Amino acid sequence: MNRAFNRKKDKSWMHTPEALAKHFIAYNAKFLGNTEVDQPKGTEVVRDAVRKLKFQRHIKKSEGQKIPKVELQISIYGVKILDPKSKEVQYNCQLHRISFCADDKTDKRIFTFICKDSESNKHLCYVFDSEKCAEEITLTIGQAFDLAYKKFLESGGKDVETRKQIGGLQKRIQDLEAENSELKKHLQVLEEQLMIAQVPPGNSMSSKTPTDMFDMVPFSPLTPLVPLPASNGSAPPPPARPTEIRRDLFGAEPFDPFTCGAADFPPDIQSKLDEMQEGFKMGLTVEGTVFSLDPLEGRC
């Protein structure tokens, strides 16, 4: 592994400057992983890292795990490592943090670069496996460095600070997107729990008629009395009327002042009342003494 890119003015690059400055160059490769290294550069440093990651990958392969595929997007701003299907950014290695890049001459499929982590400030070596494009990817990263260095000289160093700020903002955006995704999942779980906890409308207690302390429905003059349904849900039967008219101990029907008229009496009672009225008109006899109702003939 003996290729470390350098800047040569007479170097013939593979891509146009506009492709790397305004857009990016994409490659597909297998990602063996990353591991911490002691030095920011050096052939022996990356060789040890490759040996370590290959060994770990062989163990995972024996367990049935496949090497994950990734997409590399290379530009003058850095190297992005994405999921090829979802396009989710897994790592965003800013170009000014990359200190070394090389391909392996003993294994032409392997290429690596060392990048300083923005959070831990540790140097991490990223190792990739590309069957046909390992050397081309290494040269593309070298061309991106050459263009970025020229732009740095033209801007007087101001562009580096701008890229640092942009890189920090991009990292913040990624963190917020991840946090937003977690909050959406948590909200979905809460909504499902709320739907389970809701009481069905048919069992709601709000439709039950309120009762008093004796468990009776209070009477309201504004609402008509409606017979309560039976326990089985059917309408109650109408009240039974007696088929025989009840009579008193004298054999007469009981007197009802609300239904009988002024002269609505049986004939025998009516005749007796008439005789009593005639007797009062003629006079009353008590123990042989006659009392006259006429004031002119009255005497004691």
192 pLDDT band, cuts 50/70/90, is confident
Q: Centre a 10 Å sphere on the Cβ of residue 250 and count the other Cβ atoms it contains.
A: 5
Residue 162 has pLDDT above 60, yes or no: yes
Residue 287 pLDDT level (bands cut at 50, 70, 90): very low
C-alpha neighbours within 13 Å on the C-beta side of residue 252 = 9
Rg (CA), the chain: 54
> Domain containing 142 — which CATH number?
2.30.29.30
- Give every strand in the sheet of 110-116, ordered side by side: 89-94, 78-82, 69-75, 25-37, 123-129, 110-116, 98-103
Cα atoms found within 13 Å of the Cα of residue 212, Cβ hemisphere only: 6
Q: Do residues 93 and 164 both lie within one domain? A: no
Distance CA 22, CA 3 (A): 27
In this prediction, residue 10 carries a pLDDT of: 42
Residue 86 structural domain: 17-155
In a domain, 262, yes or no: no
Establish if 143 belongs to a structural domain: yes
Q: What is the pLDDT of residue 31?
A: 95
User: 280 is written with which tokens?
Assistant: 């009062």
What's the average model confidence in pLDDT over 212-228? 61
Tell me: pLDDT of 5 over 50: no
At 276 the pLDDT is 72
**Residues 70 and 144 reside in one and the same domain:** yes
My answer on whether 53 and 183 are in the same domain is no
- 273 or 186, which is more confident? 186
Indicate if 103 and 175 belong to the same structural domain: no
Report in angstroms the alpha-carbon separations of 163 from 26, 91, 97, 124, 168: 20, 16, 11, 20, 8
| Predicted pLDDT of residue 131 | 85
Q: CA-to-CA distance for 90 and 33, rounded, in angstroms?
A: 11
Residue linked to tokens 């299907």 = 85
**Co-location of 142 and 51 in the same domain:** yes
In-domain check, residue 6: no
Mean of pLDDT values over 186-196: 86
Give per-residue pLDDT as tens, 61-93: 888 889 999 999 999 999 999 999 999 999 999
9-49 confidence digits (pLDDT tens): 445 678 888 899 888 999 999 999 999 999 999 999 999 99
The residue with greater pLDDT, 110 or 261, is 110
Same domain, 161 and 64: no
Distance CA 125, CA 101 (A): 9
Instruction: Mark whether 86 and 165 lie in a shared domain.
Output: no
Q: Do 165 and 92 fall within a single domain?
A: no
Angle at which helices 158-197 and 134-155 cross, to 10° = 120
Domain's final residue, options 142, 176, 193: 193
**Does residue 181 share a domain with residue 138?**
no
The count of domains in the chain is: 2
The predicted model gives 128-141 an average pLDDT of 91
Residue 11 lies in a domain: no
Residue 264 lies in a domain: no
Name the band, by pLDDT with cuts 50, 70 and 90, for residue 140. Answer: very high
Question: Rounded to the nearest 5°, which phi and psi values hold at 8?
Answer: -125, 135
More confident: 209 or 119: 119
* Same domain, residue pair 148 and 186: no
